[in-house]
Structure 1
Amino acid sequence: MSSTSQSLRLRWHLVRLALGTLIPVVAFAAVVVFQLARAEREAVELRVLRSARALASAFEREMSGSIRTLQALAESDRLDRGELEAFLEESTRVLRTQPSWRHVLLISPDGQPLVNTAYPWGAPLPAVADTESFTRVVETHQPVIGNLAVGQGARRALAFPVRVPVMRDGALRYVLTAVITPESLTDMVTRQAPGNEEWTRTLVDSRGTVAARTVDPARFVGQPASRSFLEKTRVAEQGVFANTSMDGVPVYVAFRRSQPSGWTAAVISHRGALDTPVTRSMLFVGGFGLALLLVSVGGAWVFSRRLERSITEAATAAAALAEGVPHHMEPSSVRELTRLGEALERSGRLLRERERERDTNLAAAEEARAEAVEATRAKDAFLAMLGHELRNPLAPIVTSLELLRRRGLAGTPEHEVISRQLRHVVRLVDDLMDVARITRGRMSLHREPLELSSVVARAVEATAPLVEQRRHALVVDVPSSGLRVLGDADRLTQVVANLLTNAARYTPPGGHLQVRARASDGGITLVVEDDGQGLQPDLLPRLFEPFVQGPRTVERSEGGLGLGLSLVRSFVEAHGGRIEARSDGPGRGSSFTVWLPGHEEAVEQSTPSERREELPPATGDASGEPLRVLVVDDNVDAADGLADLLELSGYQVAVAHDCTEALSRVDALRPHVALLDIGLPDVDGYGVAERIRERMGEASPVFAALTGFGQDGDRARSHALGFRHHFVKPIDFDELNAFLEAQRPGRSEVA
């Protein structure tokens, strides 16, 4: 492969080396200089900010003095006696001592002016100018500094009020106001600025109007500040930011907002005063660095010509060795190039050896992969057959136990032991099949909006016999509504039931179990706690792995395969949730916390158990004729037991064990429903259904599969071939009865 057109000559690599060496050095120097300049700039910013704080403090002192003077005047006994004319004279005397005041007002709480030192007693008085500040005093009974406004008098001059409440016996009697001119503020602001300083100082009221300015106050006082200034100063108490002045000049603004008046003191400086040091420093570093780079590049260019000749000779030797042609490399002044020639020859030999080893390893890997694929197929086939073979003998046992119960022969302790242990075996088979599906990535969820309380109720009902047997106290604290999830009701019920079963099994008799759920973290948290034997710390990290169990004890004689918690985690994660376990150690109980995403938009829906209608006993249809059912199963015990059970329920039943016998029974019975075992000899259940349809035509019965194969592919196939339902052995008799009742003539639409 040739890449000459994309490569660079050695001299250019040396140039790049020189650049790569010097650029970081120059960049580091630039960063250092920049940091120093920025530190200097920050010092200037801090000085400007301190100046803004000093201006705000001066304004606050000035206003505090005016407020104290007004508060002293408000204590006049003439106000107590209602001698307002005498109070006017007293206010006039006080006004002469306050150069910043224009005049003094006394206003009633309803806003009626009573005294104005700008008008003689008895003269008509103008209305209140800044009603906002007046209203705040009336509402808060606290001193208030108003905003700049145009007066209501004949002069229409700019001013702002300082108002204090006049309180008597806890009630507001009057509002006393000093009207202050912006010129007095300009004088105060000017006193804060040294004579040789170029900074502009400004006071802005809480509404954003310029009240004082050291530069050109006649032009800007009374004008609104810029929008950008107001946006920056209203988000923080103080700070420094870049802006454009009211003159249109780029500036930096340092501000401090005074409290509680809401006025803002600002100090404005040209950007050049802060940016110039950084700019000069960067120009100096850039120029110096460029000079260094030019010198280094020139030296690298000259040196590279000598080195390039030796490398070209080494490349020629390498090409000759690749073609198997001996080539003598001339001695080089560079020792590394001489060693390179020797290494190239050795590399050729090693490369050929490695290629032979690679081919051998690839062949072995391909053979191992083929074996693994075949082993996976064999395992899947084995698991499917295992499920079928385990379920087939379980079906007649379950059917026989149900027959004993219905015939009143199941009241013995031995019957309860057999029933309990049989349920345990069925659960082990179901767990094993679920793990197989999850391992192959074939688990499917039938999601629907539902309340978590319905899931917990079903799980509690399923585990109630074990909880009662071990005499546990179970507390369920789950709201009946408000905890909605979008999930598979059966899988979520299995999650809660597995956690409750573990808690009951690993807690000594008479223990305490608790299930609680709450909304949290944008979802729903479900906690199952117990005060049982707890968990070993070294077991917690592996607790949710398949086949992991704690040490067996006598109390754990019913221990399973170690698949329950693995299934729980798989089901929870398939719903987008997570689960974690916690225990303080052996003998101190354990806690399992499940988090599931909420589903706020879910509509109220009933659980499957709530949706199941109460069906009447199987006494026949409206005409009195019983429902006719054909059972076809090559397992004689299972078929006969199921037939006996259906007959006890009032159905008319016929039994067949193969295709030929099934066709003969069809002619005699004319069934409404046919329950067909899929794994029949000679002709399977699908073939039997096809032959029955050919014989009966439109009068064909409703077909349902009765099989030990319960994987998703099996269900999909039976549905595609026209089977109305897929029952997995051992059969759920309540589910079977509901299905049969739905197939009665006149009710087929319900099925």
Structure 2
Amino acid sequence: MPDAPDFRRLFDSLLSPLLVLTPDFVIVEANRAYLTATRTDRSIVGRPVFEVFPDNPEDPTADGVANLRRSLETVVASGRTDTMALQRYDIPTAEEGVFAERYWSPVNAPVLDDEGRVTHVVHRVEDVTEFVHLRRVGREQRRAAADAQMRAEGMEIDLFVRAREIREVNEQLSRANAELDAAGRRLREEQRAKDRFIATLSHELRNPLAAATAATELLALDMPEGHPALAVLERQLGTLARMSNDLLDGTRAVTGRLELVREPVDVRSVVEGACADIRGLFAHDGRTLDVRLPGAPLLVDGDRLRLAQVLTNLLSNALKYTRPGGLTEVELVAGGGEARLTVRDDGIGFEPGQAEELFGVFMRAAPAGPDTPEGLGLGLAVARTVVELHQGRIGAHSDGPGKGATFTVALPVLASAVPRPPRPAARPVSPLLSVLIVEDNADLAATYHTLLERQGHRVTTVHTGADALAATESGSFDVVLCDLGLPDIDGYTVARRMRARPDGGRPRLIAVSGFSRGTDRALSRAAGFDAHLTKPLPLTDLLEFLEEPGEGAD
């Protein structure tokens, strides 16, 4: 593909004198033909046109400035091209106060933006002084003939010049359209590559997070009396998991590919669960989390996990910007056909005019520092996208720095529906399951193996897809926990081959992966998996899931 043309060079090489002006008539560009015709140089750029080219003070009838100003104002006001009559407009010479007589054939054309507003005016002229002078030579008849000839030649020249300009503009537009198409294809490919990169990065982050989370749970089992380090590990691993989720969901939010799985949801139970999950973090450093909920269910048509993510992000934001000993209040009320959730803290607050900016991607209420922990600045952007996908609203308010912050979410409620109840707390599970773990991360595989054995299950662990197929060929398993990103064949292929066997319907196939996009879940369902769980997977969630053999987690 040939290199894109240098449009500045093209502009400078045009034969017609061209001047580019702002809507208030300041010169922003002039080509060589114009500088030559007006005996000027590039020092005129940046100056008002009528300062550079005033009327000739020695000519009391001079009206060049008035006529040109009228034409330019017409173009700016109407957004349409204005062709001027033949004009006398003398130009200054190198000698101070001396002007040279000049006649011009001007055309002024607007440059419009996407909204139809005039951003620039292109002033094109042709120097017809010689034709005018011909009319002054000889007798009246000769002058009349010369005048007629001049008009004819002027029209011919003008037609020729304009036809040439139209042809050049059409060629430039064709090249520009081709370049835009190519640029669009490149941008789409770059976006797809970025999506693949973010998904892979998230998967790679989740593998060590899952292993560390499982190892922490194993330590908790070995130390039932507890240990201060365990609480630190749990808090920090939870923070890393939320940052990993925000990284992936932030990309989905920006590109409009965040997905919902809708059902009738009791917002009250969502708030209860999210606050229970994060309450332990608030207890650290003496912070208080006060929750006030209505007595009756409050139903919306929504995605339970995404709505919990909204509240978790708001609470995480309050946790970051509330000092030790601070108070965060969560209140859920109903009214006006809406469920209204408020998260209020007494933290560092922000400037009132900054409220809308907080929901931008990578935006933070305050720079990171000793009193404001690091973060990606994605949580509020993801929260806004999720709320708007639910046809709701989210906003922020603060009376100023040091005066706390209030975040409010409003969601339309359902007139009547029966919500799916949230899963109950984990119960003791049956020790009779035969489980196959297919995981190439040796640390994670070994930890899951130990955790499940501690619960009484019979556990076998393999690290490749080929070994998984061999193990299920020779042995009988109730459940297969299979990673998708295996080193030899992927988990989708493992599932398809297992399902293709005569007894392929028996084992319960569960995908456990860091890949969690909607397309990943669709592929796992199509391959034959019964459920798709996302790493890092807490042991309580896994055990709860294993004791409900008929339920999926897509």
TM-score normalised per structure 1: 0.51
C-alpha separation in 1, matches of 2:513 and 2:474: 25
Distance 1:657-1:602 versus aligned 2 partners, 3 A rule = same
Aligned counterpart in structure 1 of residue 267 of structure 2, from 449, 452, 474: 452
Aligned counterpart in structure 2 of residue 469 of structure 1, from 281, 284, 288: 284
Answering whether residue 434 of structure 2 is matched by residue 628 of structure 1, we say yes
Distance 1:667-1:343 versus aligned 2 partners, 3 A rule = closer
| Aligned amino acid, residue 361 of structure 1 | A
Answering whether residue 403 of structure 2 is matched by residue 597 of structure 1, we say no
What do residues 252-294 of structure 1 show as CA deviations (whole Å, max 9, x unaligned)? xxxxxxxxxxxxxxxxxxxxxxxxxxxxxxxxxxxxxxxxxxx
RMSD after superposition: 2.9
1:542-581 aligned within 5 A: 542-552=357-367, 554-581=369-396
SS at match of 2:547: helix
What do residues 521-568 of structure 1 show as CA deviations (whole Å, max 9, x unaligned)? 432322221221111245323110110113335454533100011011
C-alpha separation in 2, matches of 1:472 and 1:735: 27
Answering whether residue 248 of structure 2 is matched by residue 436 of structure 1, we say no
Task: Tell me, yes or no, if the aligned pair for 1:676 and 1:706 is still in contact at 8 Å.
Answer: yes
Aligned counterpart in structure 2 of residue 585 of structure 1, from 400, 403, 420: 400
| Aligned amino acid, residue 347 of structure 2 | G
**Structure 1 equivalent of residue 173 of structure 2:** 358
| Aligned amino acid, residue 443 of structure 2 | D
SS at match of 1:519: strand
**Structure 2 equivalent of residue 714 of structure 1:** 520
Task: Tell me, yes or no, if the aligned pair for 1:692 and 1:700 is still in contact at 8 Å.
Answer: no
SS at match of 2:365: coil
What do residues 662-712 of structure 1 show as CA deviations (whole Å, max 9, x unaligned)? 244335541111111111222222322344445562574111112221111
**Structure 2 equivalent of residue 641 of structure 1:** 447
C-alpha separation in 1, matches of 2:225 and 2:176: 65
Distance 1:343-1:432 versus aligned 2 partners, 3 A rule = same
| Aligned amino acid, residue 377 of structure 1 | R
C-alpha separation in 2, matches of 1:750 and 1:550: 39
Deviation, structure 1 residue 416:
2.0
Larger RCO, structure (CA 8 Å, separation 6 or more)? 2
**Structure 2 equivalent of residue 650 of structure 1:** 456
Q: Which structure 1 segments of 5+ residues have no match?
A: 1-328, 620-625
1:165-184 aligned within 5 A: none
**Structure 2 equivalent of residue 157 of structure 1:** none
Deviation, structure 1 residue 342:
5.3
What do residues 451-492 of structure 1 show as CA deviations (whole Å, max 9, x unaligned)? 322122122112201221132333323212163322212211
**Structure 2 equivalent of residue 346 of structure 1:** 161
Task: Tell me, yes or no, if the aligned pair for 2:429 and 2:543 is still in contact at 8 Å.
Answer: no
**Structure 1 equivalent of residue 508 of structure 2:** 702
Task: Tell me, yes or no, if the aligned pair for 1:577 and 1:594 is still in contact at 8 Å.
Answer: yes
Deviation, structure 1 residue 652:
0.2
Deviation, structure 1 residue 614:
5.9
Task: Tell me, yes or no, if the aligned pair for 1:515 and 1:528 is still in contact at 8 Å.
Answer: yes
C-alpha separation in 1, matches of 2:504 and 2:248: 37
What do residues 406-449 of structure 1 show as CA deviations (whole Å, max 9, x unaligned)? 12278322222222111111111111111222233322222222
SS at match of 2:286: coil
Deviation, structure 1 residue 517:
3.0
Answering whether residue 422 of structure 2 is matched by residue 608 of structure 1, we say yes
SS at match of 1:402: helix
Deviation, structure 1 residue 593:
1.7
Task: Tell me, yes or no, if the aligned pair for 2:210 and 2:535 is still in contact at 8 Å.
Answer: yes
C-alpha separation in 2, matches of 1:476 and 1:673: 39
| Aligned amino acid, residue 192 of structure 2 | R
Aligned counterpart in structure 1 of residue 478 of structure 2, from 672, 689, 696: 672
C-alpha separation in 1, matches of 2:399 and 2:522: 46
C-alpha separation in 1, matches of 2:396 and 2:281: 22
C-alpha separation in 2, matches of 1:613 and 1:459: 13
Answering whether residue 198 of structure 2 is matched by residue 392 of structure 1, we say no
| Aligned amino acid, residue 494 of structure 1 | Q
What do residues 28-84 of structure 1 show as CA deviations (whole Å, max 9, x unaligned)? xxxxxxxxxxxxxxxxxxxxxxxxxxxxxxxxxxxxxxxxxxxxxxxxxxxxxxxxx
Q: Which structure features the higher share of helix residues?
A: 1
Distance 1:658-1:524 versus aligned 2 partners, 3 A rule = closer
C-alpha separation in 2, matches of 1:709 and 1:352: 53
| Aligned amino acid, residue 174 of structure 2 | D
Task: Tell me, yes or no, if the aligned pair for 2:492 and 2:523 is still in contact at 8 Å.
Answer: no
Distance 1:648-1:463 versus aligned 2 partners, 3 A rule = same
Q: Which structure 2 segments of 5+ residues have no match?
A: 1-143
**Structure 2 equivalent of residue 661 of structure 1:** 467
C-alpha separation in 2, matches of 1:634 and 1:525: 45
1:143-182 aligned within 5 A: none
Distance 1:615-1:533 versus aligned 2 partners, 3 A rule = closer
**Structure 1 equivalent of residue 196 of structure 2:** 381
Report the count of equivalent residues: 409
Task: Tell me, yes or no, if the aligned pair for 2:482 and 2:510 is still in contact at 8 Å.
Answer: yes
Deviation, structure 1 residue 519:
2.9
Task: Tell me, yes or no, if the aligned pair for 2:235 and 2:281 is still in contact at 8 Å.
Answer: no
Deviation, structure 1 residue 586:
0.5
Deviation, structure 1 residue 718:
0.9
**Which stretch of structure 1 is more off in the superposition, 642-651 or 697-706?**
697-706
1:10-49 aligned within 5 A: none
Task: Tell me, yes or no, if the aligned pair for 1:470 and 1:504 is still in contact at 8 Å.
Answer: no
1:155-304 aligned within 5 A: none
Answering whether residue 429 of structure 2 is matched by residue 617 of structure 1, we say yes
C-alpha separation in 2, matches of 1:673 and 1:592: 43
Q: Which has the larger radius of gyration?
A: 1
Distance 1:693-1:528 versus aligned 2 partners, 3 A rule = closer
C-alpha separation in 2, matches of 1:433 and 1:397: 20
| Aligned amino acid, residue 429 of structure 2 | P
Task: Tell me, yes or no, if the aligned pair for 1:401 and 1:410 is still in contact at 8 Å.
Answer: no
